[in-house]
Amino acid sequence: MPKISHTAEIMPESAIRMLTPYADQAKADGIKVYHLNIGAPDIKSPASAAEAVAGFKFDHLPYSNSAGTYALRRAIIEKYYKPNGIDFELEDLLVTVAGSEALTMVFQAACDPGDEVLIMEPFYCNYNTFSLMNRVKIVAVHTDIRDGFRLPSAEVIEKHITSRTKAILICNPSNPTGTLYTKKDLLALGEICRRHDIFLISDEAYREFCYTSEPYFSAMQIPGMQQNVILVDSASKRYNLCGARIGCIISHNRDVIKLVTKIAQARLCPPVLGQVATYGALSADKEYFAAVRKEYIARRDFTIKALNAIPGVYSPTPEGAFYTVAELPVKNASDFCKWLLTDFHPGGETVMVTPAEPFYKTKGAGRNQVRIAYVLEVPELKKALKILADGLKVYNS
């Protein structure tokens, strides 16, 4: 029998989807499953996105430019970034197949096999896959649930930097924790990257979902970091266009853009209809985002209060995104999450949450934690979290 790839063989399953077969079986058995495991909100996309696709007439569908259509790239700059205080040129931007491809391309452009990228843990579990695909080593800098997963000191971070370190990667606000890094945090990270002459890769897919009174501070706004910062972004969460699969890479470092453009040419172009939908979504007004933000704050507040009311459960209050990590009174959250789907169906319903251990690199860390995506309306969240609370009581008895 031919020998398969060792690299592919050791790639981890997605923690977010690894329990899907059990959820599918529960549904096949007539069980209703409340999905708090995946960042797929029930928020409506801007009407302008659907209108753009409906109005797009064609008798054939050609490739776009490998960097994305001119119209979309120009709209991203003029309609979104400039109004948010971030200015750059068309040549600094490349449209990608969502944020996932953007991160993969950035690893390819910034790193050689064996190079290291520092990431604060817990981190988005698919970063593991992107790094393995490119033979890049993730070095985890631990953060703690009890202080809200705050950014460690420069001294702690710099202890992890070696001669092979090429970048620090952050997700701000964070998936999975909802932690929001402040302007002070970003300036400190910028200083570390300048001092060691490494990249700062900033995944800002959740930028629109910040719940503090302070204006969002982007890595692109750090003074003197034009050549070090690589911004990764996505339309998936901001406009709830997950299926459009459109993201982008932005950097003032033209060498980086030149390299990712070569990589982009090999895959020809991003999805054209996804680009059309995203172009339409960029016309969404401030009222759209204000309403979405208000809704997420309500969901967050309910979720955190309900979680912390369950005996033995602790969750810090997230300041952004629509996730939180909660500590449970169990030894192995993965077993508990699976048990909810296979064995606990009060009233013909159950809840699906994500084990948090795969979001950590440190062995054994997060074993009693789960990531919860508060992506349902409050009445649905109320039912789901009651099932979680009752499930813990039965499971531990």
Q: How high is the pLDDT of residue 73?
A: 98
Q: Would you state the pLDDT for residue 41?
A: 87
307 vs 370: CA distance, rounded Å:
11
Sign of torsion over alpha carbons 185, 217, 318, 340: negative
Please tell me the distance from the alpha carbon of residue 4 to that of residue 1, in angstroms, as a whole number. 9
User: What are the pLDDT digits (tens) for 340-359?
Assistant: 999 999 999 999 999 999 99
Q: What string of H, E and C letters represents the secondary structure of 317-378?
A: CCCECCEEEEECCCCCHHHHHHHHHHCCCHHHEEEECEECHHHCCCCCCCCCEEEEECCCCH
The residue extents of the domains of the chain are 6-44+287-395, 57-281
Share of the chain above pLDDT 70, in %: 99
Tokens of 353: 């949450």
10 Å Cβ neighbour count for 264? Answer: 23
- CATH fold match for the domains 6-44+287-395 and 57-281: no
pLDDT in tens, 45-91: 999 999 999 999 999 999 999 999 999 999 999 999 999 999 999 99
Running DSSP on this structure, what letter comes out for residue 77? Answer: I
Of 3.40.50.880, 3.40.50.2020, 3.40.640.10, 3.40.50.300, the CATH number of 57-281 is 3.40.640.10
Instruction: Please indicate, yes or no, whether the overall pTM of this predicted structure exceeds 0.75.
Output: yes
pLDDT value of residue 369? 98
Per-residue pLDDT at 3: 87
**Cβ contact 43:322 at 8 Å:** no
Give exposure, 356-378, as e/b (b: 16+ Cβ within 10 Å).
bbbbbbeeebbbbbbbbbbbbee
- 89-127 pLDDT per residue, tens: 999 999 999 999 999 999 999 999 999 999 999 999 999
pLDDT value for 15: 66
- How does the average pLDDT of the chain come out, rounded? 96
Residue 289 confidence (pLDDT) above 70: yes
Give pLDDT, residue 227: 97
The CATH T-level fold of domain 6-44+287-395 is: Aspartate Aminotransferase, domain 1 (3.90.1150)
Handedness of CA 27, 33, 39, 40 (dihedral sign): positive
pLDDT digit string (tens) for 22-38?
A: 999 999 999 999 999 99
Sequence-distant (≥ 6) Cβ neighbours of residue 353 within 8 angstroms? 36, 37, 337, 340, 370, 371, 372, 388
Alpha-helical segments (H) within the chain: 6-9, 20-28, 47-54, 70-75, 98-110, 126-133, 154-158, 183-196, 235-238, 254-266, 272-281, 286-308, 333-342, 378-395
pLDDT band at 210 (very low <50, low <70, confident <90, very high): very high
pLDDT value for 12: 74
Residue-wise pLDDT tens digits, 301-326 = 999 999 999 999 999 999 999 999 99
Q: How confident is the model at residue 18 (pLDDT cuts 50, 70, 90)?
A: confident
Looking at the predicted structure, is the pLDDT value of residue 39 above 80? yes
Q: How do residues 135-183 score in pLDDT, each as one tens digit?
A: 999 999 999 999 999 999 999 999 999 999 999 999 999 999 999 999 9
